[in-house]
A and B are shown apart, each in its own frame.
Chain A
C-alpha cells in the first residue's frame, strides 16, 4: 500500500472529488495560485482551473457566507480557513447560517458544505492562531465536526464530508501534515460517527481525537514496555456525530478511562466523554475517569512552556499510573 503524507491524503481527496462532481469547488485564502498556505491544495488550481479552485480576499465572513449561499443552491463548497482560529471573525455565518438554516426552514434547505483547515496549538504562534474550536462547534446541533489523526482517516473522512449533505467542520492539524501513513490508492470513504480502535488493550482505555491520538499511542508503548499495562486507544475521529458505542464497549472491557484532549478542559470534548461515561459506564468503572488536556490558559507563545501546555506521552503515562 502506498505511504503518503496526511497533506497528500487530503490533496488526493480533493482531486478525486473535484474530478468526480462538478458541483465541488475549493475556496479560501491562497488556495489556488499560491498553492495553499500549507500546500494542501498544491497543484489543484493548475489542474482544475479558476472556476473550481478559487482564491479569496481576506474576508472570512463573506466567503463563508458565500459558501452557505452556494450550498443552499446545490453546490458543494469546500471552504478553507488558513487557520480555524480565523473562523472566529465568521462565526455568524457558520453557527447562525450553516448551522441553523435547515432547522429554521423546517427542513426545506440543507447546506452541504465543508469548512476545513488546521485547528491546533503547539506551533509557537501564540493564542490567536492556536484555537481548537471543535468543542463549541460540536455544541451547535446542525453542524458536524471531524478531527482526523492519520493520513488514512484524513482522506476517507474528507471524501465522506464532501459527499455529506450537511455542513461538516473538518479540523486538520499543521503538526500532522507531514506525517506518513499507508493510504490505499483510489477513492474510499470512512463514515462520520464511527470511532476507530487504533490499539487494542485490556487494562485502560485512552480516548482521544486528532493529534492526541498519536500521543496516546506513544504513551501506550511506554506503558506496555515499562509498566506492563496494555492500553486500548480509541480514536473518536468525529466529535459529532459521536460513536458512543465504541467508547462504551472499550470501557466495559478495560474498566478504566483516561481522556486525552488537546482541547481545553472546561466544557471541552473530554467533558462530554466524561459525562457519557458517568451516565452510561458507571458500573463498568474500577477507577474515576481521568483527563489529560491542554492546560487551561490561552496558548502561551514561549516554546518550552507551550510544550508543557499540551498533553504529551509522559503526562498520559503518569495519569494512567495514578489510576491504578
Chain B
C-alpha cells in the first residue's frame, strides 16, 4: 500500500512561529562565503553522491556484503555541518554515516575499502559501512544501534566543557531514533548539566518502513519534544545549503558560547531504502513521492541552480567537478578491490589498547580465549 503522506519540505511549525521565508543567502553565516567555498560545498555533495552510487554498484554485483544505508538525497546536511565546524567541534552520527565521513575529510579510498571489508579500510575492515571513525577529524562515528550514539554525543559535549574548550558536539540521529528512551535521558542531562550539545534530527520521513505519522504520537515537529526538557529547539529545511547553514550555524554558535543544548530538526529525504536490503522502499511510499523530491528538492540540483544564478560557476565547470567525483569514486572502488583482506591474525588486534601496545597491563593474564 503506497503511502499518501505528503512530507514536509519546510518545517510545519517552528519555535518562533515565524512564517515568512527569510533570504538565507544573506544570513551572516552565508553572506561572507567566498565563491571557492560555495563551489567546495558542491564538490563535497557530488563526491558523497558519486561515492555511494559507486558503492551501490558493487553492493548489487555482490562485491560487498553488510548493510549499505545510503545518504543520497541528504548530502546537504552533512556538508553544511562540516562547513560550520570550527576545529574544536565534535560530531557523531548513526549508521547512515558515509556522508558525514566524507564531509569531514575522510578519504574515499579508506571508506570504500571499509565497505569491501579490506585491511586498508578506515577501520581495517573491522567496522563496515555503519562504523566509520576519524577522531583526528573530530568524527566519532558511525554507530549501528539506533539512538545509541546520542549519549556518546552527550559525553563529547561533557568533555569539551570539562576541558574548557570552546567547541560544541553535534549528535545526529534520524526521526525514528527520537523514540529511543536514551534520547530523552540525554536531553534531560544535557539541559541539567548545561552542556554544548546540538542534537540534529535528520528527519527523512521514515524509520525504515514506518512513516513519521505511524511512529510518533506528537504531531508536527519532533524537535518540539525538547520543550519537555527545557531544551531550545527549532526546525529548518535541509535541502537548501544556505538555509541549513544559517540555522545550524546559529545553534552551534549558541552551544559554544552559552554552553546550552539545542535540538534542530532538519527536513530531508532519502531516495533509496532504509538500507539497500530494504525491499519495500517503494511500497511504504509512492514512487511519485520519491520522484517529486528528486525533481524539486534535490540538494545538489538546488545548489547548482543557486550557484549558476549567482554566476559563481558555469555548467561546464559543474560537469567537470562531477566528472572528477565520478572518477575519484571509481578509483576508490579499484583501490578497494585491489586491497588485501585483513590477515587472520588481525582478528585479535584492536580489542584492548593495553594489549595492542604491549604494556605491562596488556601482558598480564589471558585476554583472549580462542584456540
Contacts and interface: CB of A to CB of B under 8 A. Distances in A.
A242 B162 CA distance: 35
Interface stretch (B5-13, B145-153, B244-252): B145-153
Nearest to B193: A54
A110 B353 CA distance: 6
Interface in A60-98: 61-75, 92-93, 96-97
A123 B67 CA distance: 46
Interface in A79-129: 92-93, 96-97, 101-110, 112
B134 A69 contact: no
A241 B148 contact: no
A166 interface: yes
A194 interface: yes
Contacts of B359: 165
Contacts of B123: 104-106, 108
> Looking at chain B, what size class is its interface with the partner chain?
35 or more
A104 B127 contact: yes
Contacts of A194: 364-365
Given A102-B353, A108-B134, A242-B365, A64 B151 contact: yes
Contacts of B125: 106
A108 B133 contact: yes
A141 B133 CA distance: 20
A43 B123 CA distance: 43
**Most B CB atoms within 10 A — which of A106, A108, A272?**
A106
A240 B182 contact: no
B155 interface: yes
Contacts of B357: 165
Contacts of A57: 185, 188-189, 192
A62 B189 contact: yes
B141 A105 contact: yes
A166 B152 contact: no
A72 B368 CA distance: 23
Contact of B162 (A51, A92, A105): A51
A interface SS class: mixed
Contacts of B360: 191
B37 interface: no
A192 interface: yes
Contacts of A71: 155
Given A92-B148, A240-B367, A107 B155 contact: no
A73 B156 contact: yes
Contacts of A33: none
B182 A193 contact: no
Nearest to A161: B361
Contacts of B334: none
A69 B365 contact: no
30 contacts: A51-B162, A62-B189, A65-B182, A66-B152, A69-B151, A69-B154, A69-B156, A69-B157, A74-B159, A75-B159, A92-B145, A96-B148, A97-B152, A102-B350, A102-B353, A103-B351, A104-B133, A105-B123, A106-B122, A106-B126, A106-B133, A106-B350, A107-B353, A107-B356, A141-B351, A191-B360, A193-B365, A242-B369, A243-B364, A244-B366
Given A57-B192, A106-B133, A192-B365, 11 more contacts: A61-B181, A64-B151, A65-B148, A65-B151, A65-B154, A66-B154, A71-B155, A73-B156, A103-B350, A164-B354, A244-B366
Interface of A: 25, 51, 56-57, 59, 61-75, 92-93, 96-97, 101-110, 112, 141-142, 144, 160, 164-166, 191-194, 238, 240-244, 272
